[in-house]
Structure 1
Amino acid sequence: MTKNNLTTIQKGYLHRRNRWMIVTSLLVILTLILSTTMLLLGNTRYPLEVVLRVLMGEEIRGASFAIGTIRLPRMLSGLLVGIAFGIAGSTFQTMLRNPLASPDIIGVTSGSSVAAVFCILVLELSGSIVSIAAVITGLIVAILIYLLSKGGSFSGGKLILIGIGVQAMLSAVISYLLLRASQYDVPGALRWLSGSLNGMQMSSIPVLFLIVFIFGLVILLLGRHLKILELGEQLAITLGLNANQTRILLVLSSVFLIAFATSVTGPVAFVAFLAGPIAGRLIGNGTSNTLPAGLVGAILVLGADLIGQYAFDTRFPVGIITGILGSPYLLILLIQMNRRGGSS
């Protein structure tokens, strides 16, 4: 390899790294702006100085309750859930090399949703018990999808098809439960299914933060292995990577993120589906997509919640807004994939 070739490679590497750092920094700044805006806005608008004083622990009549009890848990849950959905969705899409391989497309979030709806409508439970049931069922469904797709040899396409089939079945179960339930219980289940930041409490934040930190860190540390898996299983094995062990770690970490995030806010539609592709377009090829995807996920959730709360006469849950944003992209993606399939 000549010196000129080495110089070109080094320049390309520096360009990709600088672009990644600039884009990630801008995403962090935008996330901070949206987070701050959520603390400032409400029925009563407080200046930034008052918000900072409340966050420092000062008791201010009216402001302490509005900011510390209502707005801060809402903002933190939206931030953490968005990061969880973004990282998990990007990991699935990269690992399976398919933009349709998002947890809310292949049935992982539907597993959590079935458990939550069953607990709310049939068992008449609420609170942490519903969250625990949602997490456990989400994990069970994810493991079942993975095991079914692993028959013979692992195939990303097989996993996606099985996941879509499982999601259709679970969606039918949810519809049945809603139809059979008392009309007085249905609104609570529908609020959960729509994906909402309403009623968030600080008590749920520490566990959510711990889960996002631990499993998000695991995925970040496996970032290089994830890029190798993206090249294909045979090449990954040739390069000395234990593909099965790495894939299991990535799948379990992603599923824990999705399940816990879903158990807190419900299935916020299309955040996991959109975050990875948007982040990929921003940072380009050749660099890790994990952290930018997490930040894009947070921006989508925070931004959609602000739009749903203040852009219309009626207040809409965050999942309604993200669903409106994600549906056109899904249709466009399916049309593009159909054209590529038809021309090949």
Structure 2
Amino acid sequence: MPPRTRGVTLRTRGGFSMRLDPRGAVVGLLLIAVALAMSVVLIGTGDFPITPDDVVRTLFGGGTMAQDFIVNELRLPRVLVGLLVGAALGLAGALFQSISRNPLGSPDVVGFGQGAAAGALTVIVLFNGGPTAVAAGAVVGGVLTGLAVYALAWRQGVHGYRLVLVGIGASAMLSAVNGYLLTKADLPDATRAVVWLTGSLNGRDWTQVWPLACVCAVLVPVVFGHARGLRMLEMGDDSAYALGVRVERTRLVLMGSAVLLTASATAAAGPVAFVALVAPQLARRLTRSAGPNLLPAAWMGAGLLISADWAAQRAFGADQLPVGVVTGMLGGGYLLWLLVTERKAGRI
């Protein structure tokens, strides 16, 4: 269905006005509720199951000593990493799809996730680095890939389809580099690298929570500070110029923020597939609102990743899968459906 543009305009006596879409607000609140509810369920899931009531009671300071240790020290950091990674990927996907004006404009497709993976693999295979060094390598690899794709896609500006095509080429090349690094690795390093490349929340603790939380605390205000310019960019560069938007500066700031969000999320949990592609589009279909739908996309990403992690633990019996396997299976099917839909519509 085409996105709706109707909404309610709120005005104050000081002249400040804000346009509120009631359906978008309701959907956003529901997505928050789903993400938080699934977080409580996930915290209670494991070899030592805990009821949702006990989980909530323990989070607010109640519960036994054993419950306090399991909930606050073992499981809460994993869930917080999942929420932050999902929200960061959902927000980054919404930014890329709005900037490129293309539903395939996602970090998964345009190579930024592969770039972060290449940086991490380089540290693992060539330098045998620890977790902190691997995370730093992922961030550096993602940023360098973003700069390279932007430079190669530049031609008197960055056109959406050119950005996607250059990114697809970069992704293919980086996949080959990653495969080569795996063939050169010793067996222990190769095993470690393959586990990291799958994307997983296993073993995540507070050392992954705080860096990612700090990155989000810095970048999210930057993104929302340029939200109006992003909305204008969706109408085309000429229209945005006419409305007073500094097009290239806005695009560069938002792309840089999206690259850093993707690289930081990849550093924390590995390259979790397809969340950045699927979350913004599902959010837009639910809200039926014009514009990038940044907040719904972020909460949709958080809810998707937490739900996928719960499914990875519960839906396959005794075999617990990494969350990246579940998101890859679901996202791959969604991508095939999206390609068929776009082809029938004559857009590809």
* TM-score under structure 2 length normalisation: 0.91
| C-alpha distance in structure 1 between counterparts of 2:288 and 2:53, whole Å | 38
Say which of 36, 41, 55 aligns to 1:37: 41
Say which of 143, 156, 168 aligns to 1:139: 143
| C-alpha distance in structure 1 between counterparts of 2:60 and 2:22, whole Å | 35
Letter in 2 for 1:18: P
Q: Specify whether residues 54 and 212 from structure 1 end up closer, same or farther in structure 2 by C-alpha distance, changes over 3 A only.
A: same
Deviations 1:16-51 (A, max 9, x none): 711011111111110110111111111111234543
Matches within 5 A, 1:1-344: 12-14=6-8, 17-57=21-61, 60-286=64-290, 288-313=292-317, 314-341=319-346
How far did 1:109 drift?
Answer: 0.8
Check conservation: 1:120, 1:185, Cα contact below 8 A: yes
Q: Specify whether residues 117 and 196 from structure 1 end up closer, same or farther in structure 2 by C-alpha distance, changes over 3 A only.
A: same
Check conservation: 2:88, 2:262, Cα contact below 8 A: yes
How far did 1:70 drift?
Answer: 1.7
Letter in 2 for 1:222: H
Moved more, 75-84 or 111-120: 111-120
How far did 1:63 drift?
Answer: 2.2
| C-alpha distance in structure 2 between counterparts of 1:213 and 1:24, whole Å | 19
Letter in 2 for 1:97: R
How far did 1:180 drift?
Answer: 2.2
How far did 1:58 drift?
Answer: 6.0
Q: Specify whether residues 276 and 190 from structure 1 end up closer, same or farther in structure 2 by C-alpha distance, changes over 3 A only.
A: same
How far did 1:333 drift?
Answer: 1.7
How far did 1:52 drift?
Answer: 3.8
| C-alpha distance in structure 2 between counterparts of 1:155 and 1:305, whole Å | 36
Gaps of 5+ in 2: 10-19
Letter in 1 for 2:140: I
| C-alpha distance in structure 2 between counterparts of 1:288 and 1:117, whole Å | 33
Check conservation: 2:273, 2:324, Cα contact below 8 A: yes
| C-alpha distance in structure 2 between counterparts of 1:57 and 1:118, whole Å | 43
Letter in 2 for 1:229: L
Give secondary structure in 2 for the equivalent of 1:122: helix
How far did 1:12 drift?
Answer: 3.1
Gaps of 5+ in 1: 1-10
Deviations 1:198-230 (A, max 9, x none): 110112212211111221222122222111000
| C-alpha distance in structure 2 between counterparts of 1:335 and 1:47, whole Å | 43
| C-alpha distance in structure 2 between counterparts of 1:287 and 1:149, whole Å | 24
How far did 1:69 drift?
Answer: 2.1
Give secondary structure in 1 for the equivalent of 2:110: coil
How far did 1:53 drift?
Answer: 4.7
| C-alpha distance in structure 2 between counterparts of 1:121 and 1:145, whole Å | 25
| C-alpha distance in structure 1 between counterparts of 2:101 and 2:324, whole Å | 26
| C-alpha distance in structure 2 between counterparts of 1:30 and 1:60, whole Å | 27
| C-alpha distance in structure 1 between counterparts of 2:223 and 2:80, whole Å | 21
| C-alpha distance in structure 2 between counterparts of 1:48 and 1:270, whole Å | 29
| C-alpha distance in structure 1 between counterparts of 2:202 and 2:126, whole Å | 23
Check conservation: 1:20, 1:287, Cα contact below 8 A: no
| C-alpha distance in structure 2 between counterparts of 1:260 and 1:47, whole Å | 32
How far did 1:289 drift?
Answer: 0.4
Partner residue, 1:6 = none
| C-alpha distance in structure 1 between counterparts of 2:266 and 2:251, whole Å | 22
| C-alpha distance in structure 1 between counterparts of 2:95 and 2:107, whole Å | 10
Moved more, 156-165 or 213-222: 213-222
Check conservation: 1:228, 1:236, Cα contact below 8 A: yes
Check conservation: 2:78, 2:201, Cα contact below 8 A: yes
| C-alpha distance in structure 2 between counterparts of 1:123 and 1:255, whole Å | 24
Equivalent residues, number: 333
Letter in 2 for 1:138: G
